[in-house]
Structure 1
Amino acid sequence: MKELTEFAGKNVLVLGLAKSGYAAANLLSSMGANVVVNDASPEEGNEEAALLKERGIPVICGGHPNDILDRGFELVVKNPGIPYHNEVVKNAILKKIPVWTEVELASRISEAPIIAITGSNGKTTTTTLLFHMLNIGGKKPLIAGNIGTVACTVAEKAEPDQLIVMEVSSFQLAGTEQFRPKIAIWTNLYDAHLDYHGTSESYALSKANVTMNQTAEDFFIYNADQPEIEQYAEQTAAQKIPFSLKGRTAYGISADDHMIYWQGEPFVSRSIIKLVGAHNLENVLAATAAAILVDCDKTAIENVLGSFTSVRHRMQFVKELKRRSFYNDSKATNTLATKSALSSFQTPVLLIAGGLDRGHSFEELAPYMEHVKAVIAIGETAERFAEFAHSCGIDDVTQVQTMGDAVAVAYEKSEEGDTILLSPACASWDQYKSFEQRGDAFIDEVMKL
């Protein structure tokens, strides 16, 4: 960890606990900051709050007092999940107090180069692919961010000869100031989290922070098939590495029906790749480009491409039963992700979909419903999704209450050669604490069959 003096004696408010707030509070305190933590949850049963108090760090629980900034704070480090319309955050910005997320701290203290991966979809798969490539290639990678340990905790312990592979969300990137990864990856851009960011432009600008502090010594790997990202790529000072699925290109990394190309030259045959779907091919290109840039052995890259099949809850093959294939795509919390899932199959699909009702339209899924033979609708949006399925000409539509019923109905209606796919196109919070919990429920029910 870099020895920094800028935090010594500085008054810092850590807003929100959970893993990131707890880690940030401990780190800042160890660097000599005067830290106060404020968490909305009650103090009773709050283990992180109790541990911090034992270490002499003041913790205020039970809400975010509007006057808390009157204590003379010079910096706010907030939990990424706390929105910018929170009164304390709004007041801090009005008072010109910097508001960071803990990935900014990670960037400042890390002695290891950071490879940061963001995108509306695909960032976890890309992060995991790259981590495995580097691990097999002997590059001593560490995994951090949304997918692993809190970023500043990993950065605190990272050695200069290691690499931190860090998945970063728009929530985290919105709270950065000098964040500068050695390699930045932007997988794609589609409207998401507008209830948090307010506008599409604000969301995109948060994503763009992954590259905006990079210099000519750094690399920016980005989706060249999306003009929305191209416009931000024009603003970076980093060396640009575009990726494209539209055939062989002279620069960057690209793919046609048969081959992956690096800088216009054949690199590896697509026939070895185990991941299915065009969206996953984008992830493969992004991860492969980053691995090449850090001189990862080609054999390690090929080993991973030839063996890696899925990330849990992301187009995860669960099992085959009586020639029915079950896939868990619980991470598909929006229509874009479900479009990618549906386009990955040519077999008849029994689709389990639905969840939290945010009022989003399902209409953009219509062209991808051709192979769907039956829909099992679940959650708050069950009725709306059922109506949408009927509008697509699907007659076999069932509304159910539980995941157990959904899996049972799908299996009962299926035939040999069918695919039973959980790809909800909705968030999980109507019935589950997370998409992971929803996916686990699906897997549990499949295993009971």
Structure 2
Amino acid sequence: MKNTEFFKGKNILIVGLAKSGFAAAKLLHSFGAHLFVNDKSPREGNMEAEKLEQLGIEVVCGAHPLTLLDKNLDFIVKNPGIPYQNPLLSEAIKRNIPIYTEVEIAGMISDAPIIAITGSNGKTTTTTLIGEMLKNSEKTPIVAGNIGTVFSEVAAESTPDDILVAELSSFQLMGTERFKPEISVFLNLFEAHLDYHGSIDEYGKAKAKITENQDSADYVIYNADDENVTALMKDSRAKHIPFSVTRKCEGVYIQEDALYFQEQKVIELKEIVLPGKHNLSNIMAAVAASLLAGATKEQIRHVLTTFPGVKHRLQYVEEKNGRRFYNDSKATNILATKAALSAFQNPVILLAGGLDRGNSFDDLIPALKNVKAMVTFGQTAEKLADAGKQAGIETIKRADNVEEAVPLAYSLSHAEDVILLSPACASWDQYKTFEQRGDMFINSVHKLK
């Protein structure tokens, strides 16, 4: 680890004892910082608070008293999810007390180079792809951030022989000042989290902090098809590596039905297992980052011809008698299901349904043009069936649950069909989580004879 002396003797307030706050507190304590920890949850049953108190750290639970700011603080480390409108943080801003997230700590102490990935959609898939593509390269990839282990915790254990691959949200990046990855990736920018950031402009600025401190020795990989992202990248001093699914560019592009990186052919598109135009953008970003970080084309090709997708996110399950099964249980709204359906040209048997939140499915109707049959389940089964009828789908069946829907869908299918679980609804009417629903689908597919 480097720069640990920076924290010695500093007065630091940790706000929020979720996974990242707990990890940051233990880490900063080990560096010799003078810590105060604050968590809104009650003290009773708060195991993290108890563990920190056993280390001799002062912990205040149950509220965010403003008196915590009277500790001559050098800075605050906050949980990314706590908004800056929180009264304690608002007052800290008025007093000019710096507020960071644990990403700032990770960047300061890491002995390993860092690849940082952000964007509104596709972060998890891209991060996972990069981690897989870098296996068997000169450096050992370690996936961290929003997926994997807490970033600062991994950074503390890293060596120069590792490479950290971190998925980072706008919440995390907003709380950085010195953070400087060797490679940054900016996938896309859509309206999201406006309740937190206030506007799309502020949201974009938070994401763009991923490249703010980069220089000419670093790389920024970005989506040249996204005007908002391209505009935000103009001020980056890093080497620009664009990617585009629509035109040839100086980074990653498509030519003659193959994917190229700077005039080098990487793979034929037909060989890529992961479906969908949106995933093609994720793949391009991952290819650029991995090649720049030392991955071999052989390993990249191996990943792209075998990688089934992140679990429950348009995940390829298996093929049975010419039918390909995909698990997209994470599709808990209409927009996600529309994106999933757009990924396939083959006829689709769609499995959909779940919690009824009172909305109609009229917006889904135009996306059903490639659906030859539907199997609906859950509270929204009838609503989805009505949407299917309006789309002109003649074969619509109802099942009690996902387990029953799978063999029913198979009975309606033929070779070359896609059987897709993409519910367009939350899972809570029948399942505790979308993960449980997806696992039921996978298990049912494996049981088919």
Superposed pair shares fold, TM > 0.5: yes
Query: For residues 358-378 of structure 1, what are the alpha-carbon distances to aligned partners after superposition, in whole Å with 9 as ceiling and x for unaligned?
Result: x99966644322123326365
Mark the CA change 1:447 to 1:268 in structure 2 (over 3 Å): closer, same or farther.
Answer: closer
Unmatched segments (≥5 aa) in structure 2: none
Q: How many residues align?
A: 443
Give the secondary structure class of the aligned counterpart of 1:221.
Answer: strand
Contact 2:315 2:328 in 1 (8 A): yes
Contact 1:349 1:419 in 2 (8 A): yes
CA distance in 1, matches of 2:365, 2:58: 53
CA distance in 1, matches of 2:397, 2:90: 45
Is 56-65 or 180-189 further displaced after alignment? 56-65
Give the secondary structure class of the aligned counterpart of 1:185.
Answer: strand
CA distance in 2, matches of 1:254, 1:361: 38
Query: For residues 234-291 of structure 1, what are the alpha-carbon distances to aligned partners after superposition, in whole Å with 9 as ceiling and x for unaligned?
Result: 1211111000111433x11111452111223433322332212212211211111112
| Paired amino acid for 2:310 | V
Unmatched segments (≥5 aa) in structure 1: none
CA distance in 2, matches of 1:432, 1:18: 25
How far 1:355 sits from its partner (Å)? 5.0
TM-score (structure 1 length as normaliser):
0.87
Match of 2:401 in 1: 405
Match of 2:220 in 1: 220
CA distance in 2, matches of 1:25, 1:300: 38
CA distance in 2, matches of 1:202, 1:191: 11
How far 1:392 sits from its partner (Å)? 4.5
How far 1:322 sits from its partner (Å)? 7.1
CA distance in 1, matches of 2:432, 2:203: 24
CA distance in 1, matches of 2:381, 2:86: 32
Once the two structures are superposed, the pairs formed by residues 300-449 of structure 1 within 5 Å of their partners are: 300-319=299-318, 325-333=324-332, 335-345=334-344, 346-353=346-353, 357=357, 365-372=364-371, 373-374=373-374, 376=376, 378=378, 392=391, 405-409=401-405, 411-412=407-408, 415-417=412-414, 418-425=417-424, 435-443=434-442
Match of 2:126 in 1: 126
CA distance in 2, matches of 1:91, 1:398: 57
Match of 1:259 in 2: 258
Match of 2:198 in 1: 198
Match of 1:44 in 2: 44
Match of 2:80 in 1: 80
Give the secondary structure class of the aligned counterpart of 2:401.
Answer: helix
Mark the CA change 1:117 to 1:255 in structure 2 (over 3 Å): closer, same or farther.
Answer: same
Match of 1:184 in 2: 184
Give the secondary structure class of the aligned counterpart of 2:306.
Answer: coil
Query: For residues 130-180 of structure 1, what are the alpha-carbon distances to aligned partners after superposition, in whole Å with 9 as ceiling and x for unaligned?
Result: 111111223212111111111001111111232111111122112222211
Contact 2:351 2:422 in 1 (8 A): yes
Give the secondary structure class of the aligned counterpart of 1:6.
Answer: helix
Contact 1:76 1:97 in 2 (8 A): yes
Mark the CA change 1:224 to 1:448 in structure 2 (over 3 Å): closer, same or farther.
Answer: same
CA distance in 2, matches of 1:67, 1:396: 65
Contact 2:351 2:405 in 1 (8 A): no
The alignment status of 1:209 with 2:206, answered yes or no, reads no
Match of 1:30 in 2: 30
Q: Identity rate of aligned residues, in percent?
A: 49
Match of 1:272 in 2: 271
How far 1:85 sits from its partner (Å)? 2.9
Contact 2:403 2:440 in 1 (8 A): no
Match of 1:146 in 2: 146
| Paired amino acid for 1:123 | K
Contact 2:211 2:238 in 1 (8 A): yes
Give the secondary structure class of the aligned counterpart of 2:6.
Answer: coil
Give the secondary structure class of the aligned counterpart of 1:24.
Answer: helix
Give the secondary structure class of the aligned counterpart of 2:37.
Answer: strand
